[in-house]
Structure 1
């Protein structure tokens, strides 16, 4: 029975909402899981990843690598047979463009108030 080998995974987003659970083959790569997350990302979220490199999956405190399979990334300690694995999804904040930084550096400075506590 091929269905018995499937691994059920739930993806927990940063705000506590979930994508899934869904069942995956043990040979599914972490990169493929991230592509699935991108395809199913809720449209109402302000923060949304653009590529799989903007997403980090964390399972049992370990950041999973894109080229590893789900079977290689599992941490069987504490898993219940037939249970759902919850992986946390972290979205990398957008990287500032170097050109924008130069433009900001060239803009005239505005008067600002600053306080120093000694």
Structure 2
């Protein structure tokens, strides 16, 4: 594969630091990019992601799905000549099951109230 077919990505973390830029094949999955992010996450940063499900990759305002490739995610690499695409990395740990259950138990069943004037 020619090097001009590769996608050059910079992964911007929430604190403004970057991973990359590095070149990737358009057939690279978003999940494998997230694994790279986990491996290269700065060790001195607190609250880092534990799994790829804790990481959200955002490109052009869309959250990318783990199972899709860069090409399937419609990363705009064909129109960029020598340009670097910046993707934003957001860490969002899912709520644990116990927290979700306690929120449901503590909340009243009917919280809706309407006022018609």
TM-score category of the 2 structures, normalised to the smaller one: 0.7 to 0.9
Counterpart Cα distance in 2 of 1:93 and 1:53: 8
Match of 2:17 in 1: 17
Match of 2:109 in 1: none
Match of 2:65 in 1: 65
Structure possessing the higher radius of gyration over alpha carbons: 1
Match of 2:2 in 1: 2
In structure 2, list runs of 5 or more residues that go unmatched. Answer: 103-117
Are 1:43 and 2:51 counterparts?
A: no
CA shift for structure 1 position 41: 0.5
Post-superposition, which runs of at least 4 consecutive aligned residues in structure 1 deviate over 2 A?
Answer: 74-77, 93-97
CA shift for structure 1 position 62: 0.3
Counterpart Cα distance in 1 of 2:12 and 2:4: 24
Q: CA RMSD in A?
A: 2.1
In structure 1, list runs of 5 or more residues that go unmatched. Answer: 103-118
Report the TM-score, using the length of structure 2 for normalisation: 0.76
Match of 2:52 in 1: 52
